[in-house]
Structure 1
Amino acid sequence: MTIRDIVEGSDTGSGRWFDKCVFFLIIVSLVAMSLSTLHQLPPAWRAALAVCEIVIVVLFTIEYVLRIVAAEHKWSYVRSFYGIVDLVAFLPFYLSLLSVGIDLRAVRGLRLLRVFRLFEMARYSTAVTRLATAVKYARNEALVFLFATLVLLYIAALGIHHFEHEAQPEKFESVFHSLWWAVVTLTTVGYGDAYPVTVGGRIFTFIILICGMGIVAVPAGLVATGMSRAVDDERRAGRPEPES
Structure 2
Amino acid sequence: MRQYIKNIVEINDNRTSKIFAIFIQCLILLSIITFSIETIPNLKPETKSILYAIEVFCVVVFTIEYLLRIYVADSKPRFIFSFFGIIDFLAILPFYLSFGVDLRSLRALRFLRLFRILKLVRYNRAMIHFTTAIKSAKEEILLFLFITLILIYFSSVGIYYFENEAQPENFSSVFDSLWWAIVTLTTVGYGDVYPITVGGKVFTFFILLIGLGIVAIPTGIISSALTKSVDKKDA
Superposition RMSD on alpha carbons, in Å?
3.0
1:220 aligns to what?
Answer: 219
Kindly tell me: are residues 35 and 169 of structure 1, through their superposed partners in 2, closer, same or farther at Cα, counting changes over 3 Å?
A: same
The yes-or-no answer on 1:107 pairing with 2:106 is no
Which region of structure 1 is more displaced relative to structure 2, 147-156 or 102-111? Answer: 147-156
Contact 1:6 1:15 in 2 (8 A): yes
Deviation track 1:25-81 (CA, whole Å, cap 9, x = no partner) reads: 111111211221222323332221111111111221222233334334445544443
1:117 to 113, 118, 122: 122
Kindly tell me: are residues 208 and 22 of structure 1, through their superposed partners in 2, closer, same or farther at Cα, counting changes over 3 Å?
A: same
Supply the AA of the counterpart residue of 2:200: G
Which region of structure 1 is more displaced relative to structure 2, 215-224 or 200-209? Answer: 215-224
1:151 aligns to what?
Answer: 150
Query: Structure 1 vs Structure 2: percent identity of aligned residues?
Result: 44
2:178 aligns to what?
Answer: 179
Paired with 1:184 and 1:71, the residues of 2 have a C-alpha distance of 44
Contact 2:121 2:128 in 1 (8 A): no
Which region of structure 1 is more displaced relative to structure 2, 168-177 or 104-113? Answer: 104-113
Paired with 1:149 and 1:128, the residues of 2 have a C-alpha distance of 22
- CA drift of 1:200 comes to 2.8
Kindly tell me: are residues 227 and 117 of structure 1, through their superposed partners in 2, closer, same or farther at Cα, counting changes over 3 Å?
A: closer
Paired with 1:87 and 1:141, the residues of 2 have a C-alpha distance of 27
Deviation track 1:184-230 (CA, whole Å, cap 9, x = no partner) reads: 101101122211223332222122112211111223334445556x4
1:16 aligns to what?
Answer: 18
TM superposition score normalised by structure 2: 0.81
Contact 1:10 1:19 in 2 (8 A): no
Supply the AA of the counterpart residue of 2:23: C
Paired with 2:6 and 2:77, the residues of 1 have a C-alpha distance of 16
2:234 aligns to what?
Answer: 241
Contact 1:181 1:194 in 2 (8 A): yes
Kindly tell me: are residues 240 and 3 of structure 1, through their superposed partners in 2, closer, same or farther at Cα, counting changes over 3 Å?
A: closer
Give unpaired runs (5+ residues) of structure 2: none
The yes-or-no answer on 1:160 pairing with 2:159 is yes
TM superposition score normalised by structure 1: 0.78
Kindly tell me: are residues 215 and 81 of structure 1, through their superposed partners in 2, closer, same or farther at Cα, counting changes over 3 Å?
A: closer
| Secondary structure at the counterpart of residue 168 of structure 1 | coil
Supply the AA of the counterpart residue of 2:115: L
Paired with 2:121 and 2:233, the residues of 1 have a C-alpha distance of 24
Supply the AA of the counterpart residue of 2:188: V
**Matched positions, count:** 230
Paired with 1:107 and 1:225, the residues of 2 have a C-alpha distance of 32
- CA drift of 1:10 comes to 2.5
Paired with 2:83 and 2:142, the residues of 1 have a C-alpha distance of 26
Paired with 1:89 and 1:63, the residues of 2 have a C-alpha distance of 11
Supply the AA of the counterpart residue of 1:198: T
Kindly tell me: are residues 61 and 128 of structure 1, through their superposed partners in 2, closer, same or farther at Cα, counting changes over 3 Å?
A: closer
